[in-house]
Structure 1
Amino acid sequence: MTLTRLFGREGVLHELQRYLDEVDSRGVSIGLTGEPGVGKSALQARIATYAETAGFTVLRARGIQSESQLPYAVLHQVLAPILPRVSGMPAPQRQSLLAGFGLVEAPEVNPFFTSLAVLDLLVEAAAEIPVLVCLDDLQWMDRASVDTLAFVARRIAAERVILLSTSRSESQLLGDDRTTTWTRVAGLAAEDSQALLRYHAPDLTSAHRDRIVAQSGGNPLALLEFASTPDTGTDEELPMTARLERAFTARADELDPVGRAVVDVAALDDGDELEPVLAAAAIVAGTAVDRDAVWRVLEFGLLTQSGSEYAIAHPLIGSALRRAMTPDRRRQVHAALATILSGVPDRAVWHRAGSVSGRDEAVAAELEEAAAEAQRRGAFATALARLERAAALSPDPLDEAGRLISAAELGYELGGFAQVEQVTSRVARTTLRPRDRSRLTRLTGVFHDGATSEPTEIRHLVQLARRASGDGDADLAMQLLFGAARRVWWRDPGDLVRRDIVSATHDVSVPSGDPRVLAVLGLADSLELNGAVIEQLDRTPPDDGGRADVAALLGIAAFCGGDFLRADSLLSTAVNDLRADGRLSLLAEALAIRSWAEINLGVFDVARSADEGIRLADETGQRVWAGTARIAAAFIGAVGGHWSAPPALLLQAEQIALQLPNASSSLLAGAQLARGIGELAADRPSQAYAELHRVFVPTDSAYQRVQQAWTISYLAEAATRSGVRDEATGVVDSVVARAKGSPAIGTTIALEYCRAVLADDAVADELFGKALSGAARPFPWHQARLQLAYGSWLRRRRRVTESRDPLRAARTAFDALGAKPWAARADQELRATGERGWHPTSSGREQLSPQEAQIAELAAQGLSNREIGQRLFLSHRTVGSHLYRLFPKLGVTSRQQLAAVLTDRLKDVQSSD
């Protein structure tokens, strides 16, 4: 095979070849950017040839602008050569993938199962020989395919898979720069441009060559195209791309009417089969068109043909042809394609939309139905595009606005911040149906998850909810009230607003135990209504027969009320169900909230919830939940003694909070709690008190009423160690007054601790006794903190012998929990009593990354690599690689030994109680 000579590209080729040569040690996603015609595709083709020679499986797909609304079109191109492997795949993934391609029927398609299926297919193929996936013109690829490929790109670091993309500009479609590395392909240097012209156009005069080099800016396509056109000296003032398009248009103008009909149809076609193009061209030209008519077009270099398939020779040719068409010609071509493709409804309706000259309700309704079908197939981005087009064709402005709002709601599901903001601002000042106005209001600021908490805005939501309730639309009313309540959580708007939400919620015609009602009440007024919410939770089934959304809502209600044990249980149910359903956006939220339920129970394992919550929230574009999980991870790190300065995780979360329209007091309160724990761990109690006290100051941006109940015991600890007990006592009294005798376990533990450590000597002994036998007893962290405080109090009162038992128990528990600074403090107290000889324990588990720890836990439960991969949305081979690396860290040689190693610490904790 003769390879086209490439000039001036040795450096880029060498770098790309290096990635291929290192594929056994790492998989990567890399990309080439640059202006049209600069040679990105030629470089990609050369690397594909190199890969084939090196024994790779090379999979290819090319984006075409006219196909960009066809769901999974690109993905089908990529996978066609290896699609027979799907037969060995687990049923949910196989069904979802094939249904996305329209090869089987399914009630709905889960896009994350589709993504996992694609990952498994590529990884299975790469287990035999490495895989190179070439994605040409990424910017024109359908979004459903690109979203799936982005999922893959984030998970191939341990696989023998390389994604090589081209795009006109650096793109984040395949993830940020941590996922995809982009290389800018510039124009050729002057000497390389001259060499290319001498090679391809040796008859040019030196002066003509110099003019072409100067006009082309080193663009290879421009060099060759200008070399083949007469040297008129005109067009020099036009941008190079415009000059190229003009040259291509001039070439097309030389075709006869039949040939021109063929290229015009091809420019607007959304497929690659030649027969439909010829049939539609016959309608446009008004005469029969056979394959002989194609030869003239091929000779002009406007199309390429391979068997029964064709392609536009270069994207700029398609762009030039589309620009050259009059509106009437465009409509004529679209109408012809709609007629020929009548048996393919998805494609036909899109062309029918392009064939109408004005607004058309019948076509708009068809597009709306097509959007629903695309959504059923998991192609949310395609559904969104069809809804937007349906809105543009709607004769009735009210229908137009309603369809735009539906598009915005889909944009929210996709994490499309810009798209939602664009739609909401576009329709905000138009006339809307009352229900659509409410839907729009719910979407306003939705990406800030309620951080825009101005009282007037929240009251407006409540008013709309009352109107929806009065109209009998209880579902919309509860959606609006839930949005209002979340805003209260993120920043308190005051008593009157909270009471207004509660009153409106009670007026909605739903049962009092409805999970939505409990979640709203928990978010809006969890201190004052805590007892009533917990009482109702006692009578409510945990998940309504396995519904993850119900378990999640009940978990939120329990969490906000401080019933962390119940919250952990409910959120765990939700996590398991959401994981099984592949609902990653909601899974990220549930994991982030559960990470804080665990922290408040004294469970400090970043691998259980926080780490995965960070990864999934980042992946699904949920900044608030990414920040929530980051603060949890920072808190856990601080408990373990990993604190010399605020960690990057915490700084990132604080930045997220401050970038929201109203700085989220909830996030900032969590950040202050993490900072306070870090200072306590570093034995700087005065600094800890200052950090924690901000949560209790009404004028501070970190003020948060409910989270004060979570923070108060650590404030009391800092106060006791820094000599400001009296000041802290006043703060505790204010929390007690607001809690109104809450039965929540979290609040009870915190207040029993505060009463004991801040008590006068005359009653401290009695209060320590009550606290040690009280709510904290089943929870090693909280019990150990009491034991440390009590033992220290006894030693300072010269009751040295009595102090040793609680101090020993605290030291053992802290050591088992990995709370090294607190274990060291307990040991210091014991040393002050004259006791020596203790050495902290170490665990191989501490050497594991959070993801390795999560995989080890699942493997210890007996799950196979494939089952673990399905749970964590990883390939089973990635799971195997993690296990291979973590075995030596834990000192084990088989899966059977994992359970014993991982349960040793738990046994130590339990034995210290």
Structure 2
Amino acid sequence: MPGADRLIGRDAERRLLAGYACGTAGQPRSVLLLGAAGLGKSALLADCAEGARRAGMTVLSAWGTGIRCGQPFAGLHELLHPVVPCQERLRQEEARALAVALGEGPPGAVPAPLVLRTAVLNLLRVASRRAPVLLAVDDADLLDRDSFDVIAFVQRQLTGEAIAVALTVSGPVAPAGLSPAIPTITLTPLREAAAAAVLDAQPAAPTGPDRFGVLREAAGNPLAIVELCRAVAEGSGAALSTFATPQSERIRAMFAARLGRLPELTRRLVLLAAAGPGTEPVTALLGAAGEKATLADWVPAEEAGLVTVVGGRVSFRHPLVRAAAYHHASATARRQAHLDLALQAADDPRRRAWHLTGAALGPDPAAAQALEEAADQAWRKGAYFEAARAFQRAADCSEAPAERARRLVLALKLVNGLGDPAWAQQLHAQVREATDDPELLAVAGNSAVHALFLDTRQCAAFAIVSALLGRERACRRSALPVATLGAAIVHESGLASHRKELARLMDHVAADTAMGPAMGTGVGADAVDPVLPPYLGADASEPLADFVRAVLEPGRPAGEILHGRHDRLRRRAGLPPMTRLAIGSIAWFADDPRTCVEQLGTAFTELKDAGAAGVFIDSFPTMINALIGSGLWSRAEAFLEEADTVVTRTRARRLRVQTEALRALLRALRGEQVDAAALHGPQWSAVDLAENRASHAYLLLASGAAATAAGDHENAYRYLAQLFGGGTGLLHYFLSPRAVADLAIAAQRTGEHDRAREIIALVREDLGDRQTQRTRILLHTAEALVGEPREAEHHFLLAVVNPAGEQWPLDRAKARLHYGEWLRRNRRPLEARPLLATALETFTRIGAAGLAEHARAELRASGVARVRPSEDPMAGLTAQQQHIARLAAQGLRNREIAEKLYLSPRTVGSHLYNVYAKLGVTGRHQLRDLLERARVP
């Protein structure tokens, strides 16, 4: 049976199948599972059957193989064998027909079709009296036709019986004979995160470029992932190229027989298609095959189910067919195919370069130069993976060590954009072996720093930063990118020594001289730069330098930088993504979440469209944090989902820790139950929290929120107090002060007023004159809760009247809630009500269910006789559905909504379908009217 890894990413399908197989009476008890080979239909059916057995059902199974098609009723015999004894209860005529079909009747006897079908149906009804029955038929389209006709009859006749039918069929269309009303589940390729999880579940999961190559080649097909991982392992570490994969015995076993039966010219055409990068133009393949080849020569391959020819292009039915077709041929035939295709690709440098490489028998300067030209073109189009692979392959084909080193560095810079630490470290090691050029070594070191940073090894990463910036022969052009990474490390490590050292080193990094004109690659004056990443842009020098300063001096100094130099810049159209990332990050350190979300969101959209989402990997926690603080929780969920995809693909441990902590924090703020202890489980034990203090702070914030949501204020205080070293020193210079109000809330509940006052004093001293409007609100809230009682109202007023607090609705609503609570307990209920009502509205709007209930209880206690839970007609929707519904009501199309929320248009359409059903509307105009009548914000 298929392995458990084949079920990764199939939770929704598993639930649907189980619902049909084990559903209640009156519901549909049949289901058809469609999909291409290798998507996991068999595994899902086996899982469904196992669940049915555990539920006490009788499971009857059969597998269509195509081999027994000439044997009448072979599939039926396999299916009914366990319940054959029940035929004793059938009418004599039915029992005789069944016996004949199962090979137990007189030789040459043929059962009457209608009698046999009725006999099988009645046999199953008899069996179902003892226990419900599930017919699980895999590859039903490959059963012998007689058996399939009987099963189809049974499926059509089922009404309320305790009999369920689950069938799988390869392809997108249901076979003739089944009821047209049969529920159908069409299996699609796995999403990227699930596909990467399947890859990681393999015994020898590839890393670096092979990892990206397998995911790209398999295109979400679980069987292809399994087989291609095995193929890479069997290839003695050979990289998975764009056009071919190492040989695998199981691949050959699956498809070699069909390939071998093809006519010689057809086999030649299939090999040419397999040697190409994807869907191939028919004209190019026919030209490469010679004058004798015609379109008709493709027919045998199409009839064999190997390829499709549509719209003048050829594509393979399955990724494994292409791999098998390539390796089924001899090495000589493969080389000739590449040479012939190179001649046909004279007007396409990229294809020509790859085919020349495929035909090369060793180092080949001409192939290397062609590959570099192709890489440059791919880079210009934003195809960073293709460009990186081309530069790496060009390095392999280079004869001169200097050329090899230069091309490896070009690949390394692009790999940084993809965010793959394992691949980056592989290339870094190769560069160090190939050259002693200080400039190239500086660039390679920069990429190594990024890889170590993603892998949570902050001290090792910062040591390289310090060495690169402190060298007398340091590369001036790479100094600012290195310093930028150093700033990211300073924030993550939270170590005062790193912060002090980078401040010293920044005296030697001048923004106006750090990046000079681009160094050419020999391809052209404006070719890809071997030092600076292509997404940096000419305007990035000053924003990057300012980002470093904002990290070193967050708060008010960062705000002065943001509004002093970047207000006009950030409003310009066409800013490079890296510039926007820098400005958005400066805004985060300045406690300006609106600018942060605006700039980072635009940058991420542009980088994702360009195939360089890995560049954004460092900014995911910042963006999610800003969205949570701004009350945009559905967008925060969308970014968490996006981060999951990137994390699973790149295996960046730091980001995994932080996104899981932020997910738990968001769930706790919504009022959901979160196991605080589980946040410190073994999956994160490999992370050294001593040098990843930002990650440690996120874990403590999430744990404190989880304990608070559960009403466990003792543990909430214990977790949050660790952010302040128990009053002896801040765990993290930026994140810890922003938890001071939550610490005070827990301290008030547990009577830890004295220790909390010490922490507040510590925070005030540390912030000094760097306080922002947000930190002032938080400090005033904390002072009001645990400070001198006679000054409580003064601090509450300062916390709630500051208009700048609207950027932080959650913080301000908490201040209003506790001020209202204080007023009520001081016998001033009339003054408390407006504050509590406003807090309730905010909590309800952003989805903070637990806090909303707290505010509701306080309103009741203040004398409001009846507090309705909510007049919002969308209260029954999820937060993401609410956000989508509001955007749809504004007239935005599905694609526009998808772009705003970083979802696919199909996902948006699915959500809207459910929204309309829940609200009882049929379109956007009715949705708009409903919201206007309810005056929903």
Aligned length: 714
The offset of 1:726, in angstroms, is: 0.8
The offset of 1:466, in angstroms, is: 5.9
The offset of 1:557, in angstroms, is: 0.9
Partners of 1:758 and 1:498 lie apart in 2 by 33
**2:915 match:** 886
The offset of 1:390, in angstroms, is: 0.9
Taking structure 1 as reference, are residues 450 and 761 closer, same or farther at Cα in structure 2, changes over 3 Å only? Answer: same
Taking structure 1 as reference, are residues 468 and 852 closer, same or farther at Cα in structure 2, changes over 3 Å only? Answer: farther
**2:97 match:** none
Taking structure 1 as reference, are residues 681 and 352 closer, same or farther at Cα in structure 2, changes over 3 Å only? Answer: closer
The offset of 1:731, in angstroms, is: 1.3
Partner SS for 1:514: helix
**1:487 match:** 489
Partner SS for 1:611: helix
| 8 Å Cα contact 1:682-1:821 kept in structure 2 | no
Taking structure 1 as reference, are residues 354 and 432 closer, same or farther at Cα in structure 2, changes over 3 Å only? Answer: farther
| 8 Å Cα contact 1:335-1:351 kept in structure 2 | yes
The offset of 1:269, in angstroms, is: 7.5
| 8 Å Cα contact 1:643-1:678 kept in structure 2 | yes
Question: What is the correspondence of 1:431-450 to structure 2 with a 5 Å cutoff?
Answer: 431-444=435-448, 446-447=450-451, 449-450=453-454
**1:639 match:** 669
Question: What is the correspondence of 1:413-424 to structure 2 with a 5 Å cutoff?
Answer: 413-424=417-428
Partners of 1:179 and 1:851 lie apart in 2 by 26
**Aligned residue type for 2:884:** I
The offset of 1:758, in angstroms, is: 2.2
**Aligned residue type for 1:606:** W
Taking structure 1 as reference, are residues 469 and 739 closer, same or farther at Cα in structure 2, changes over 3 Å only? Answer: farther
Partner SS for 1:705: coil
Map Cα deviations across residues 454-508 of structure 1 (whole Å, 9 max, x no partner): 44631431442466996552xx322211111111111123245444346426632
Partners of 2:411 and 2:823 lie apart in 1 by 66
Quick one: percent identity of the two aligned structures?
Answer: 24
Moved more, 443-452 or 846-855: 443-452
Q: 2:582 aligns with which of 534, 553, 563?
A: 553
| 8 Å Cα contact 2:269-2:285 kept in structure 1 | yes
Q: 1:695 aligns with which of 697, 708, 723?
A: 723
Partners of 2:434 and 2:906 lie apart in 1 by 53
Partners of 1:305 and 1:820 lie apart in 2 by 54
Q: 2:882 aligns with which of 850, 853, 856?
A: 853
**Aligned residue type for 1:713:** A
Partners of 2:560 and 2:785 lie apart in 1 by 30
Taking structure 1 as reference, are residues 362 and 641 closer, same or farther at Cα in structure 2, changes over 3 Å only? Answer: same
Partners of 1:259 and 1:644 lie apart in 2 by 60
Map Cα deviations across residues 390-449 of structure 1 (whole Å, 9 max, x no partner): 111111223212322322333343454543333233334442422221222222253565
**2:364 match:** 360
Question: What is the correspondence of 1:165-564 to structure 2 with a 5 Å cutoff?
Answer: 318-319=326-327, 321-322=329-330, 325=332, 335=339, 338-339=342-343, 342=346, 344-377=348-381, 379-444=383-448, 446-447=450-451, 449-450=453-454, 452=456, 454-455=458-459, 457-465=461-469, 471-473=475-477, 476-495=478-497, 497-501=499-503, 503-504=505-506, 507-510=509-512, 514-526=542-554, 529-530=557-558, 532-534=560-562, 536=564, 541-547=569-575, 548-564=577-593
Partners of 1:319 and 1:907 lie apart in 2 by 62
| 8 Å Cα contact 2:813-2:842 kept in structure 1 | no
The offset of 1:805, in angstroms, is: 1.9
Confirm whether residue 31 of structure 1 aligns to residue 60 of structure 2.
no
| 8 Å Cα contact 1:454-1:493 kept in structure 2 | no
**Aligned residue type for 1:394:** S
The offset of 1:510, in angstroms, is: 2.4
Confirm whether residue 606 of structure 1 aligns to residue 613 of structure 2.
no
The offset of 1:264, in angstroms, is: 9.5
**Aligned residue type for 2:697:** A
Question: What is the correspondence of 1:506-905 to structure 2 with a 5 Å cutoff?
Answer: 507-510=509-512, 514-526=542-554, 529-530=557-558, 532-534=560-562, 536=564, 541-547=569-575, 548-571=577-600, 574=603, 584=613, 592-601=621-630, 603=631, 605-607=632-634, 609-621=635-647, 623=652, 624-625=654-655, 628-643=658-673, 645-646=675-676, 655=683, 659=687, 664-697=692-725, 703-774=731-802, 778=806, 780-794=809-823, 799-800=826-827, 802-806=828-832, 809-818=835-844, 819-826=848-855, 828-829=857-858, 836-841=865-870, 843-869=872-898, 871=900, 876=905, 878-890=907-919, 892-899=921-928
Partners of 2:559 and 2:389 lie apart in 1 by 47
Taking structure 1 as reference, are residues 883 and 589 closer, same or farther at Cα in structure 2, changes over 3 Å only? Answer: farther
Partner SS for 2:38: strand
Partner SS for 1:641: coil
| 8 Å Cα contact 1:716-1:758 kept in structure 2 | yes
Structure 2: tracts of 5 or more residues without a match = 1-12, 21-27, 42-62, 68-137, 150-170, 173-183, 196-203, 228-247, 514-539
Taking structure 1 as reference, are residues 580 and 543 closer, same or farther at Cα in structure 2, changes over 3 Å only? Answer: farther
| 8 Å Cα contact 1:469-1:508 kept in structure 2 | no
Taking structure 1 as reference, are residues 559 and 25 closer, same or farther at Cα in structure 2, changes over 3 Å only? Answer: farther
Partners of 2:388 and 2:307 lie apart in 1 by 33
Structure 1: tracts of 5 or more residues without a match = 1-14, 55-77, 80-129, 135-148, 156-167, 187-238, 283-288, 909-913
Moved more, 767-776 or 557-566: 767-776
Map Cα deviations across residues 237-262 of structure 1 (whole Å, 9 max, x no partner): xx9879989x99xx99xx9xx99999
Give TM-score scaled by structure 2 length: 0.62
| 8 Å Cα contact 2:462-2:498 kept in structure 1 | no
Partners of 1:788 and 1:390 lie apart in 2 by 63
The offset of 1:582, in angstroms, is: 8.0
The offset of 1:716, in angstroms, is: 1.0
Taking structure 1 as reference, are residues 815 and 322 closer, same or farther at Cα in structure 2, changes over 3 Å only? Answer: same
**Aligned residue type for 1:346:** R
**Aligned residue type for 2:439:** R
The offset of 1:718, in angstroms, is: 0.9
Q: Which has the higher contact order (CA 8 A, sep 6+)?
A: 1
Partner SS for 2:761: helix
Partners of 1:339 and 1:672 lie apart in 2 by 62
The offset of 1:752, in angstroms, is: 1.6
Taking structure 1 as reference, are residues 582 and 47 closer, same or farther at Cα in structure 2, changes over 3 Å only? Answer: farther
Give TM-score scaled by structure 1 length: 0.63
The offset of 1:593, in angstroms, is: 2.6
| 8 Å Cα contact 2:384-2:612 kept in structure 1 | no
| 8 Å Cα contact 1:599-1:636 kept in structure 2 | yes
Partner SS for 2:425: helix
The offset of 1:368, in angstroms, is: 0.7
| 8 Å Cα contact 1:600-1:746 kept in structure 2 | no
Partner SS for 2:633: coil
| 8 Å Cα contact 2:628-2:666 kept in structure 1 | yes
Moved more, 627-636 or 390-399: 627-636
Partner SS for 1:697: helix
| 8 Å Cα contact 1:269-1:277 kept in structure 2 | no
**Aligned residue type for 2:38:** G
| 8 Å Cα contact 2:817-2:839 kept in structure 1 | no
The offset of 1:381, in angstroms, is: 3.7
Map Cα deviations across residues 22-48 of structure 1 (whole Å, 9 max, x no partner): 9999986762699xxx99999999789
Moved more, 520-529 or 384-393: 520-529
Partner SS for 1:845: coil
Partners of 1:25 and 1:408 lie apart in 2 by 47
